[in-house]
Chains A and B, each alone.
Chain A
Amino acid sequence: MYNFEIEKPTTIDGAVAALASDEAQALAGGQTLIPTLKARLAAPEKLISLAGITALQGISTDKSGRVCIGAGVTHTGVTNEAAAYPALAALAGQIGDVAVRNRGTIGGSVANNDPSACYPAAVLASGAVVVTNTREIAADDFFDGMFTTALDEGEIVTQLRFPVPKQAAYVKFKQPASRFALVGVFVARFADGVRVAVTGASEEGVFRWSEAEKALSGDFSAKAIAGLSASADGLIGDAHGSPDYRAHLIGVLTARAVQAAG
């Protein structure tokens, strides 16, 4: 690992100011960033730890019933405290392992947009809002391809606001060594329709499976999508699974998620 300094501001404004300097990088829980630094895939001169900012903590419900989660809440925090959105709490409880969940944060995961991470599927399927220090970004406009988001340089995710669906579930097929999703599907049924988001599968990162959304909005049952098959075009092919295999998993896991949605 190349050396760097660590700063620990206590306010969002302080962090934004610190991130304005060249070669500064935000550090949330570090469960992705620290391995990346060890591999010398990044060489920031300064890390700005967000862990001391109390404004990034806490889970609450707003007037419109959305579950609002501070970006600095750990996966364990979401598992234990997001009871108002059980499918989201269950997703958080399946990320990595216990120690990763105790450090990793929802804001860090969403900002990183790993193509196999779990949270992006929940954010996109729920039609959540990503709140930053400067604006609110709709989930449909936030994820912008593998490891890429709509965030500007130095912009910090401060909160995630999730509308709570009538029924929802996330099912992932774990890549057993990394425990990331080989494919993961989040299904959310709202009064005005169903949203289906797929992670782990595409070279472009998380995406919505619109054919399944249409079929499930008419009939929310596994039967409704039995005849559909996801396209393998643009899907990830690696040692763990070919594009065709991932395409097959998308159909299977979507059906399972529909069945599991309570």
Chain B
Amino acid sequence: MTKVSLSLNGKPVSGKVEGRTLLADFLREGQGLTGTHIGCDTSQCGACLVHVNGDLVKSCTMFALEAEGCEVTTIEGVAAGDGTLSGIQDAFREHHGLQCGFCTPGMVMSTAELLKINPKPSEADIRDHLEGNICRCTGYHNIIKAIMAASGQDVSGIAAE
């Protein structure tokens, strides 16, 4: 076992891990932050997305030891300390951008990166960016609507589905 130390949602944390311990498992089992979901465990579904040093990464496809010294942000670090939802989370709630909710943490983390790079994405930009986020409720319509709304775009003409 090797010690790993990193900044997790702004707080320093450390723990003992094996070489093979995935970042996702360190977050969920080592740190008790179960908002990061493991969907496919084969790098395809995006439920485990977190930010490492500001970049969107699949925490099931990165070892915990690779995050040594990094700043890691998970879905638990997105809302304000008093529980006030972020603009993206609020838009997902307002526009029913989630059904079972399993893919939602990854969708929110992915959206945060998109809006950082592209503050007013078109529908095509959003669909392209979400290529690695799979929603098996197939709730994409309202997810895209929520992201349009979160980026300050008018969605009043888009039908709810």
Contacts and interface: CB of A to CB of B under 8 A. Distances in A.
Interface in A1-21: 1-6, 8
Interface string A12-38: 000000000000000000110011011
A98 B132 contact: yes
Interface residues of B, number: 27
Interface string B77-91: 000000000000000
24 contacts: A4-B20, A5-B19, A6-B2, A6-B63, A6-B65, A30-B62, A30-B66, A34-B61, A34-B63, A35-B42, A35-B43, A35-B61, A51-B66, A97-B131, A98-B56, A98-B113, A98-B131, A98-B132, A99-B49, A99-B57, A99-B58, A100-B43, A102-B57, A103-B57
B42 A38 contact: yes
A125 to B, nearest CB: 25
A51 B19 CA distance: 15
Nearest to B114: A98
Contact of B66 (A49, A76, A96, A98): A49
Nearest to A35: B43
A2 B20 contact: yes
A47 interface: yes
Contacts of A4: 19-20
A179 interface: yes
Residue of A3, A47, A98 with most chain B CB atoms under a 10 A cut-off: A98
Residue of A35, A97, A100 with most chain B CB atoms under a 10 A cut-off: A97
Interface of B is mostly: mixed
B46 A30 contact: no
Interface string B83-113: 0000000000000000000000000001001
Contacts of A177: 44
Interface in B1-44: 2, 18-20, 22, 41-44
Nearest to A39: B42
B141 interface: no
Interface in B90-148: 110, 113-114, 129, 131-132
